[in-house]
Amino acid sequence: MTGAGSGIGRAVAVELLRSGWSVVLAGRRAERLEETAARAREARAEGPDGPGGGTLCVPTDVARPEDVAGLFAAVRAQFGRLDLLFNNAGTFGPGGVPFEDLPYEAWRHVVGTNLDGAFLCAQAAYRQMKEQDPQGGRIINNGSISAHTPRPASAAYTATKHALTGLTKSLSLDGRPYRIACGQIDIGNAATDMTERMATGALQANGEMAPEPVMDVEDVARTVRHMAELPLEANVQFATVLATAMPYVGRG
């Protein structure tokens, strides 16, 4: 579970742990990972789904190959096998910056996290799933509504999310001989720290600022759990989960 220190990653981690999964929590800030682990312990004590699994916190910058190698080595050492990767880490980059003013360094940061990081983690997971016995596993990529339809002034984020869709399709095809399933969840306006601005106003395609509806992040977490718990003979290839009244269908 990458990007497990906050937002969607934290919600999904808690949901999976509460339902009995053992989860490795990866993210850049160790203290945020520990907060997620503590929240998961609380949820397991309260939840109706059983005792839940174990956790392992591994501080990781997914854009650094050496960090990703260390993460998957820790997974192997602690648990012996890997059944699921939720490729969730991501960043929006600078908001509201016109395309012509977007610094190359900002572009590279978004690409490094959203696309390079997803590639590195997926490749490491794929290798382990191919080699382990029994063979196979599942990779779920966190796409976005922006994998389909962009927001204004979001070139870097939108480009990486479109590219992630191509990665999902390629992994789905290449993983077939090894029982590796890959799907993508595209999320619109889940209520997290990253979407707080939606309540006060988001830039629309016509240049106006307007508040947008949001949905409970727990609805995303339950969807990921459903995708994760399917047998490997079945796969949710693409799922779109969004706030019902957000400006997506007919955006612009």
Please, which residues have CB within 8 angstroms of residue 12's CB and are 6 or more apart in sequence? 1, 86, 88, 220, 221, 224, 225
For 60-86, b/e burial (b = at least 16 CB within 10 A) is bbbbeeebbeebbebbeeeeeebbbbb
Closest CA to 113 of 238, 225, 9: 9
157 has catalytic annotation: yes
User: What are the residue ranges of helices labelled H in the chain?
Assistant: 7-18, 30-46, 65-79, 104-111, 117-131, 155-174, 217-228
d(CA 138, CA 84): 5
Q: Are 88 and 4 within 8 A, CB to CB?
A: yes
Catalytic residue among 104, 157, 178, 248: 157
CA 183 to chain centre: 11
Q: Are 210 and 204 within 8 A, CB to CB?
A: yes
DSSP string for 199-241: GT-EE-TTS-EE----B-HHHHHHHHHHHHTS-TT----EEEE
Alpha-carbon Rg of the chain, whole angstroms?
18
As annotated, the active-site residues are: 157
